[in-house]
Structure 1
């Protein structure tokens, strides 16, 4: 309390230009630190080859980008086979029959060999540094997929027109992480989705809203082990928003999307709180079983 009073007093004494300058420094500090670390050698968290700043090496980054831009359902980011692409507006069977509450999804890579090791190291071995590689990969995927959609929209509207500079701006106002269960927090000591969301928000200069989305109850069985009706019942009313999000375009961030039930339930809570739209961003998307 005393510290807050001192800060308030200093804010009245120090010229506003100085306060604004300090705020600008605080906003630019993360980018400055990343630029310093960019020249520091490290091992690629995916292949252990030579890399920089704890990020993926150039080869792995390119491989991830190829996965991100592969044929995927635009609604849930499920990777599609050649025969599935183009049907039902490009949607997978599940999204065509049971449309989720979120509008789109972007995944950096499939939760399969070789990049599933990144998630396992991040969550299982508690290697927090891997969050930087995951965040960078997801940001790369988001920018690339959005640029492709913006260019496609511009072509449909006017084949002779360019998408323009506005197309580079992501249609997102805030980033919201999927909250972890209390059991997960006790086990890992951190929320994987929360750390990933923080890295993504910093890189895209978007506002991060922590603690807005909350769990209503704990102890729900793992979604992947349940059939669709049971998944939908388990996820029903699983989340609630702690504040209104009127008119905001939300990016819901998670580390892995397995069935989409969690993202769907979270999106419903965000929309019920007034969000204009919900887009899901995940580092990894579990492929459909063969």
Structure 2
């Protein structure tokens, strides 16, 4: 489906859009259907590849027939991961608006996209499931003034009718450095023992929430900490999943 801003679109499909409809957050066109116009919503939710890793939600390259390059040989502690969309254009614009430009109203759009995909691909969750946000590093928290994962976790938990546990995870002081410049193996090494869950989970299922999943090292470390605290199955729901071409190092 061509976007009228970026491709050819017949005139009769654009006639009749309500004049008072609010602009789409991504392209600016009038959107009678909410914060995103139907063209941008379609661009975000279309599958990039038919083959996707069920454990880490990575859209696999055509030749990845035997193993996911991020999960490796059984080195990923999550039962399943679902992503709202892939972290590439135009979805990266939503993440940037939310995290960098501090447009907190974007959280509602991200949470809705996440929930839409969870309903399609995620397992059923019982009422005892706990929703846990990935904690922010102190420097990032001071810079932004909020934890993006916690904001999303609150919205997701409310919509699912589950308990949001936003203060049960402690981040090791030695982890208070940026991970974005590290490669896959270096991230996994750096995140070992990064988290401690402060309350017993008593066999409950856990749904971890984060804004962007890059290599999975952070979520894997947090999932392991949840299992140490007695969690049952641990799942993850993220707003965006970095594609393979961006994480192959």
What TM-score, normalized by structure 1, do the two folds share? Answer: 0.71
Superposed, which structure 2 residues align to 1:1-290 within 5 Å?
Answer: 41-51=21-31, 55-67=35-47, 70-84=50-64, 87-88=65-66, 91-146=67-122, 169-170=124-125, 173-289=129-245
Q: Over residues 5-50 of structure 1, what are the superposed CA-to-partner deviations in whole Å (9 max), with x where a residue is unaligned?
A: xxxxxxxxxxxxxxxxxxxxxxxxxxxxxxxxxxx94322222222
**What is the root-mean-square deviation in Å for CA atoms of aligned residues?**
2.3
1-structure distance, mates of 2:68, 2:180 = 18
Describe the SS at the equivalent of 1:94.
coil
Asked if the contact 1:179/1:194 (under 8 Å) is kept, the reply is yes
1-structure distance, mates of 2:33, 2:143 = 27
Q: Deviation at 1:119?
A: 0.4
Q: Deviation at 1:102?
A: 1.1
2-structure distance, mates of 1:272, 1:221 = 24
Describe the SS at the equivalent of 1:259.
coil
Asked if the contact 1:54/1:130 (under 8 Å) is kept, the reply is no
Asked if the contact 1:258/1:285 (under 8 Å) is kept, the reply is yes
Using the TM superposition, name which of 222-231 and 131-140 deviates more.
222-231
Q: Which runs of 5+ in 1 are unaligned?
A: 1-39, 151-168
Q: Deviation at 1:171?
A: 5.3
Q: Deviation at 1:53?
A: 8.6
Asked if the contact 2:48/2:59 (under 8 Å) is kept, the reply is no
Rg larger in structure: 1
Query: What is the aligned residue count?
Result: 226
Asked if the contact 2:82/2:117 (under 8 Å) is kept, the reply is yes
2-structure distance, mates of 1:82, 1:236 = 31
